[in-house]
Amino acid sequence: MSNGGKGWVTFSWIIFLLAGLANAMYGAAALVRKEYFPTEGVVYEALKSHGWVWLIFGVFQIVLAIAIASRFSFGRIIGIALAVISGVVWFYYMLYMPIAGLTMIVMYVLVIYGLSAHGEDFT
C-alpha cells in the first residue's frame, strides 16, 4: 500500500471513531439528562429508546473503527456500507443543519474513497 493509502485508511477509522464517540455520548445524554433536549417533538417523547439506539450505534462505530485500524476486510466492507447509510441520513439533516449536514456528507464521501480506493492492504 502506498503512503497515500495509509493516510486515507487512517482518516477513515478516525472519522468512525470520532462519530462513534459523539453518538455514544449523545445516546448516554439522552438516557441520563433529559433536560438537554427540547421538549417539543417526537424525539423527546421516545427519548429513552432514542438514547439506547444512539448509544448502541456509537459503540458499533467504535468497534468498526478498531476493525478498520486493524485492517480487517470485513471492517472495510461494513465501513463502506455504513458510510453510505450515514451520508444518506445526513442528507436529510441538511434541512435543519445545512453546514453540518454538508460537512458530514463530504467527510463520509472521503471515507468511502479511502476505504474503497486504498483497500489493498486489508486482510
Residue-wise pLDDT for 20-45, tens only, equals 999 999 889 888 877 666 656 555 56
pLDDT score for 33: 76
Per-residue pLDDT of the chain (123 residues; tens, 9 = 90+): 456 578 899 999 999 999 999 999 988 988 887 766 665 655 556 778 888 988 999 999 999 999 999 999 999 999 999 999 999 988 888 888 899 899 999 999 999 999 999 878 786
In this prediction the pTM is: 0.83
CA distance 90 to 108: 10
Q: How far is CA 33 from the centre of its chain?
A: 22
**Domain map (residue ranges) of the chain:** 3-117
Give the residue among 81, 57, 85 at the shortest CA–CA distance from 68.
81
